[in-house]
């Protein structure tokens, strides 16, 4: 069964949420014994690269940028507004999250999720090489 990009993003929201939580589970107790459990403030950095069909400007939406709507008249997400299921979810008054990624909002609100937008590397394997 083929799915379009919009369906993929909607179906992936839950998987992304789980993928952000699971590293803590794997690193705490299961893979590293009591070492991590003894340090609950240990920082964990997770990189999620969605290549191909993921459109970064419609995942983390610069809805307050006029050029966003001008350059994407048919695919721009609406700015946040009360009750609209199609609108971006406000993050900071300028950027919003795609509505299918609503399960990530609590992580943003409690500051356990950070977003680094519009970052590029010249090497597709840069994260692996530097690891």
pLDDT at 114 over 60: yes
pLDDT at 89 over 70: yes
Contact 37, 52 (CB under 8 A): no
CA distance 65 to 94: 7
Most confident of 49-53, 75-79, 121-125: 75-79
In whole numbers, what is the pLDDT of the chain averaged over residues? 74
Which of the pair, 29 or 10, is modelled with greater confidence? 10
Burial class (CB in 10 A: 0-12, 13-18, 19+), 69: middle
Contact 49, 125 (CB under 8 A): no
Domain count, the chain: 1
pLDDT at 32 over 50: no
Contact 86, 76 (CB under 8 A): no
- If pLDDT is split at 50, 70 and 90, which confidence band does 30 have? very low
CA distance 84 to 4: 22
* Region 36-54 average pLDDT: 66
pTM over 0.85: no
First to last CA, the chain: 36
Residue span of the structural domain in which 77 resides: 5-130
């Amino acid at each position: 069964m083929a799915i379009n990009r919009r369906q993929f993003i909607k179906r992936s929201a839950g998987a992304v949420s789980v993928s952000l939580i699971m590293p803590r589970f794997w690193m705490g107790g299961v893979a590293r014994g009591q070492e991590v459990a003894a340090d609950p403030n240990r920082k964990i950095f997770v990189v999620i690269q969605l290549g191909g069909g993921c459109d970064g400007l419609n995942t983390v939406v610069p809805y307050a940028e006029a050029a966003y709507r001008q350059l994407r008249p048919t695919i721009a997400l609406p700015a946040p507004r009360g009750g609209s299921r199609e609108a971006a979810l406000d993050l900071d008054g300028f950027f919003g999250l795609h509505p299918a990624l609503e399960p990530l909002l609590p992580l943003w609100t409690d500051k356990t999720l950070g977003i680094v937008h519009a970052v590029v590397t010249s090497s597709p394997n840069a994260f692996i090489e530097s690891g």
